[in-house]
Amino acid sequence: MSEALPLFFVSAMGLSLLLYVILDGFDLGVGMLLPFGTDTEKDTMIASIGPFWDANETWIVMGVGVLLIAFPKAHGIILTALYIPVTIMLVGLILRGAAFDFRVKSADHRQPMWNKLFALGSLMASMAQGWMLGAYITGLSGDAISVAFSILISLTLPALYIMLGGAWLLIKTEDELFDKAAHWCRLALPPMAFALLLVSIATPLVSQEIADRWFKLPDAIGLLPIPMSCALAIVGMDWMLRRPKVLHAGYGWFIFVALMVICLMAAIGLAYSIYPDIVIGRMTLWEAAAATESLQFIFWGAIITLPAILGYTLYVHRVFSGKATELSYE
């Protein structure tokens, strides 16, 4: 039991962060796309994420909460090393929250300011999260290679979020905004695919241990489904986006599902690369874990909280399914 509990909690943390990337990723993407819509389209874009975005951000709170409670030693190391990008992310999320609420209540002449702040906050949060991921993969070393890799990831993650945002708008909008969303996805797909390719090449180069895991036979053969699934998802999205009639026939959801596959494969690949470490090259899950008695106590809270948040997320998406309607606080 004591050996299994850290595995349970790291799985719960990984699931929470994966769901955050997918769910909050699309509303961060919509935020970054906001400047490219007309005033009416901006209202529709905000309305498309209005019922969901607070719930979506719950997943990062869950993930960081598990890290703090279940792996306190790792939490101290990780958050200390990442305090600058974490601060930038929090400022970005605060900007988004304030802009989201104030734009609804503000006078018409002030709405452009709140729209810009919402887009800026979305970009800040996205790039900061990319920076954190890059620094984490390089073992929080802080050297020149780590900084360069973090910059690369800080550009990759916003590209993925923009794709998720465009794909979400394909599901939630229609007419001219639908066509614009398809156009934004077509523009974002090549840089996203190129950035993912660069990351895939660079990741083994920054860590010999990761390179050995991925390229040593026969393990390398068993890992082929991960890059192949990502490649097929990208090819499928490219094929679909070149056929507007297929998208208009109601298959826009395929783009979002394909992006979910890429996120899932990336998460599996990262987990395989770093296991059993939680701080790469410095600390394993079991070394970082809290006392067994503490883990046993919070286990019961986790098995209640996780399904409750997941159930609420599914319920919200079910209730507010279909095309976006006007968002109002009246």
Which tens digit of pLDDT belongs to each residue from 236-290? 999 999 888 888 888 888 999 999 999 999 899 888 888 888 888 788 898 888 8
- Cis, peptide link before residue 276, omega less than 30° from 0: yes
CB 133 within 8 A of CB 63: no
Tens-digit pLDDT profile for residues 102-157: 887 777 777 888 989 999 999 999 999 999 988 888 888 777 878 888 888 888 88
Closest CA to 111 of 119, 93, 96, 99: 99
Answer whether residue 16 is part of any domain.
no
Q: Tell me what the pLDDT averaged over the chain comes to.
A: 87
How much is the average pLDDT of 304-308? 90
Answer whether residue 13 is part of any domain.
no
Which pair of structure tokens corresponds to residue 217?
A: 């036979």
The domain in which residue 31 lies consists of: 21-319
CB 169 within 8 A of CB 42: no
pLDDT score for 2: 66
Answer whether residue 67 is part of any domain.
yes
CA distances for 63 relative to 13, 16, 57, 232, angstroms: 5, 5, 10, 29
Answer whether residue 309 is part of any domain.
yes
Answer whether residue 329 is part of any domain.
no
Amino acid identity of residue 230, one-letter, is C
Element (H, E) at 257: helix 253-274
Tens-digit pLDDT profile for residues 16-27: 999 999 999 999
Q: In whole angstroms, give the CA distance from residue 205 to residue 198.
A: 11
CB 128 within 8 A of CB 92: yes
CB-facing half-sphere around the CA of 167: CA atoms within 13 A: 24
How much is the average pLDDT of 171-183? 90
pLDDT score for 327: 57
Q: In whole angstroms, give the CA distance from residue 164 to residue 183.
A: 13
- The tally of domains found in the chain comes to 1
Answer whether residue 224 is part of any domain.
yes
Question: pTM, whole model, 2 decimals?
Answer: 0.90
CB-facing half-sphere around the CA of 216: CA atoms within 13 A: 7
